[in-house]
Amino acid sequence: MKLKIDFVYGHGDASEERVVLTVLEDCNLSSYMVCDATFTNDGMLSNKNRHTKWFHDKQVKKGERISLHTRVGVDNDQVQSGVLWHHIYWDFKSPIWNDGGDAAVLLEIAGWKTTKAR
């Protein structure tokens, strides 16, 4: 993978919540998705993905950082301490991350096809 999740910050407070990622190699964000998964009673990652964010078409470069904010906002780029940060907003009005019951999962999408339900 050309991205990695560093941590989930501010869980439980929609105004603070964000998933922080680092770009490991130049890539296009449209090949990646972050989802909020749960755990089973025995502590294993479940197959229940409650919220997903498929990143939009955007080229990023090695060493840049991504801050995926839960709250409503306008995507923007800012240089902070010499590092380019891509601030991307999920546009939720309430928090989605629990203390110990959630896992941030990063998916790399090699290809996809949609079919309309009939």
User: What would the two tokens of residue 118 be?
Assistant: 């009939």
Q: Looking at residue 91, which CATH number applies to its domain? A: 2.60.40
33, 46, 86, 101 from 75: Cα distances, Å:
16, 30, 8, 28
Whole-angstrom Cα distance, residue 118 to residue 40? 33
Residue 99: predicted pLDDT: 66
pLDDT tens for each residue of 64-85: 999 999 999 999 999 999 999 9
Residue 21 lies in a domain: yes
Residue 7 lies in a domain: yes
Residue 117 lies in a domain: no
What residues are paired with 21 via a beta bridge? 5, 66
Residue 39: predicted pLDDT: 73
| Non-local CB neighbours of 49 within 8 Å, separated by 6+ positions | 35, 36, 37, 105
Longest alpha-carbon distance in the chain = 51
Residue 19: predicted pLDDT: 96
Residue 22 lies in a domain: yes
Residue 113 lies in a domain: no
Residue 116 lies in a domain: no
pTM: 0.89
Tally the domains of the chain. 1
Residue 41: predicted pLDDT: 74
| Full domain range(s) for residue 72 | 3-108
Spans of the chain, pLDDT less than 70? 46, 48, 99-100
